[in-house]
């Protein structure tokens, strides 16, 4: 087995190779004068399983194409290709929200499959059901435990709060891991950059270090009102923790203004202004499990 690290591997590629004791090669990418990308594997290999590790935050298309160019190029000579996409772009576009809208996640999954990817590994996708359309093996890594350990290192009197109803199971799991209380609020999305709170569900905020726990932070429009609410209820401090720190449109500034003191995330996205937990161990464990499984049931990867 060989690990091929993409330009958006975020160091997970090197660490996973070390943890599994296998060879690691970093992909080389260059640009033609017209902007087209060229990808190259700078070393020869003859392994039967290739694991390509490439996250897909902005620039999403570029990151996905880098992975697919390599997968398609090696598919004839490699028995199994596993694509590890820690942050899976387009996973939220799983239906037509307005009439005529393309369901982008379906296209991305088809392209990956048609590029020869046999197994897809994704960390906490927004929803897992749409990934079933991939047609090959799909493994979902749950990085809540790893993120929670990071939070535990520095938050003294935590109260975990889910900022919306869909995040309740994840936030509850985080609260259980921390051995602390949990509450949630409900939100209405007014626009892609604005949410308002529609319901609250109690909780003892007084003197607590509230941690708003979510799967991702994009514009900060979910965290901002949640933080303001937590302070109004008597929180001593408010932090935010999310698996994927997409962080666009000045999200950090917006959250800071709302009083968010600390920001925790994982290295599925290399956001530098946060305390990041390393998910390499979770990925290594998943690949190890997948490849052992493969020995028993080769057809899974075909």
Residue positions annotated with a catalytic role: 187
**Residue 94 binding ligand R5P, by CB under 6 A:** no
CA distance 65 to 61: 6
CA distance 50 to 58: 24
| Contact residue for ligand R5P among 13, 66, 94, 215 (CB under 6 A) | 215
Q: What is the DSSP track for 257-278? A: HTTEEEEEEETTS--TTSEEEP
Residue carrying the six token digits 């033609």: 32
CA distance 162 to 166: 8
**Residue 216 binding ligand R5P, by CB under 6 A:** yes
| Contact residue for ligand R5P among 116, 167, 225, 265 (CB under 6 A) | 167
**Residue 164 binding ligand R5P, by CB under 6 A:** yes
Q: Which is nearer to ligand R5P, 216 or 286 (CB)?
A: 216
Q: Which stretch binds ligand R5P (CB under 6 A): 98-106, 196-204, 217-225, 283-291?
A: 217-225
Q: What is the DSSP track for 184-201? A: EEEEEEEETTEEEEEEE-
Size of the site for ligand R5P (CB under 6 A): 13
**Residue 217 binding ligand R5P, by CB under 6 A:** yes
Q: Which is nearer to ligand R5P, 6 or 220 (CB)?
A: 220
- Within 8 A by CB and 6+ apart from 15, the residues are 278, 280, 284
**Residue 166 binding ligand R5P, by CB under 6 A:** yes
Q: Which is nearer to ligand R5P, 37 or 248 (CB)?
A: 248
Parallel, antiparallel, or unpaired for β 37-40 and 80-85?
A: unpaired
Q: Is the dihedral angle over the CA atoms 241, 58, 192, 121 positive or is it negative?
A: negative
Q: Which is nearer to ligand R5P, 66 or 215 (CB)?
A: 215
Q: Which of residues 218-247 bind ligand R5P (CB under 6 A)?
A: 218-222
Instruction: List residues binding ligand R5P (CB under 6 A).
Output: 164, 166-167, 195, 214-222
């Amino acid at each position: 087995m060989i690990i091929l690290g993409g330009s958006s591997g975020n160091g997970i590629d090197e660490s996973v190779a070390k943890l599994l004791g296998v060879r690691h090669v970093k992909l080389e990418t260059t640009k033609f004068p017209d902007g087209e990308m060229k990808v190259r594997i700078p070393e020869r290999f003859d392994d039967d399983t290739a694991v390509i590790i490439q996250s897909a935050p902005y620039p999403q298309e570029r990151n996905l194409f880098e992975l697919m160019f390599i997968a398609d190029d090696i598919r004839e000579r490699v028995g199994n290709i596993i694509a590890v996409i820690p942050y899976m772009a387009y996973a939220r576009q799983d239906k037509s929200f307005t009439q005529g809208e393309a369901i982008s996640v379906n296209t991305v999954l088809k392209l990956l499959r048609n590029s020869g990817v046999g197994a897809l590994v994704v960390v906490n996708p927004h929803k897992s059901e749409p990934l079933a359309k991939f047609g090959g093996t799909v493994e979902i890594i749950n990085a809540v435990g790893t993120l929670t350990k990071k939070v535990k290192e520095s938050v003294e009197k935590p109260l975990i709060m889910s900022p919306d109803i869909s995040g309740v199971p994840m936030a509850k799991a985080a609260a259980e891991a921390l051995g602390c209380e949990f509450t949630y609020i409900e939100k209405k999305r007014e626009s892609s950059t604005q949410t308002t709170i529609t319901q609250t569900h109690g909780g003892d905020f007084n003197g607590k270090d509230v941690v708003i726990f979510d799967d991702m932070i994009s514009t900060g429009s979910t965290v901002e009102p949640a933080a303001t609410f937590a302070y109004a209820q008597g929180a001593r401090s408010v932090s935010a923790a999310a698996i994927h720190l997409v962080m666009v449109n000045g999200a950090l500034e917006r959250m800071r203004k709302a009083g968010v003191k600390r920001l925790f995330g994982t290295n599925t996205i290399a956001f530098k202004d946060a305390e990041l937990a390393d998910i390499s161990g979770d990925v290594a464990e998943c690949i190890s499990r997948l490849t052992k499984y493969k020995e028993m049931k080769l057809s899974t990867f075909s």
